[in-house]
Amino acid sequence: MQGKKDAPDADAGNGSESRSAGKKTAPQKPETVLQIANTLIASGNYKPAIGLLKSLPQENLRCAALLGLCHMDLGDYPAAIKVFEDVLRSNPNERSIEMNLATAFTLAGRHESAIDIAERLIEWEPDNPILHDILCYGYGYLGNSEKAREHGERSLLLKDVEAERSALFFPFPEEPAPAASSDPRHNIISYSLWGDQPHYVGNMIE
């Protein structure tokens, strides 16, 4: 007569499951983490993206750039500044990170620091409208209207050139469309302003 087989030990399965649960999963590749972080950023989920990016080595320039930009989008400019400054200690000649740092300084109200960086970078990139924007805003805030106007005009000219090259450029028609008297909402005059001081609206008033 064949003997009965002993019932399996109830703890044996649990032990096996415990051992499986205790196994560490392999870390994700940096490219995979960056891809997930980019998806989160595109949907406005900056905090989860920051958590992912902090899991990567901070000497990764793409990681550092994204991490700093996430902090800027959340309005945490001191954190963004720290990220960019930390990266520049080991990558002192990385101009894209320097430009991000200058932008963060501008947003944080540290205009002298922003100007110092932008003036140095603009020697290498004289046709970079972002650098001219930083200098325009910084000099304007510090009361140097002449410098602010110089860089503001240069920025607008460069952006006009870029707009003409862009597929999104819409040329003015040869003849303006007639006024839509039946629907006044279609009669819109657009005027671009970048400040609220009276001299900014002088030309429009005239």
pLDDT tens-digit profile of 9-41? Answer: 444 444 444 444 455 555 578 788 889 999 999
Q: What single DSSP character describes residue 92? A: T
pLDDT of residue 57: 76
63 contacts 31 by C-beta, under 8 angstroms:
no
User: Higher confidence at residue 181 or residue 93?
Assistant: 93
List, for residues 107-157, the tens digit of each pLDDT value: 999 999 999 999 999 999 999 999 999 999 999 999 999 999 999 999 999
Q: What is the crossing angle of helices 61-73 and 46-53, to 10°?
A: 150
- Is-contact 95 117, C-beta < 8 A? no
**Predicted local confidence at residue 197, as pLDDT:** 58
Is residue 3 pLDDT above 70, yes or no?
Answer: no
Q: Find, among 89, 46, 48, 92, the residue nearest to 68 by Cα.
A: 46
Angstrom CA distances, 28 to 8, 20, 44, 54, stand at: 37, 19, 22, 13
CA distance 164 to 110: 34
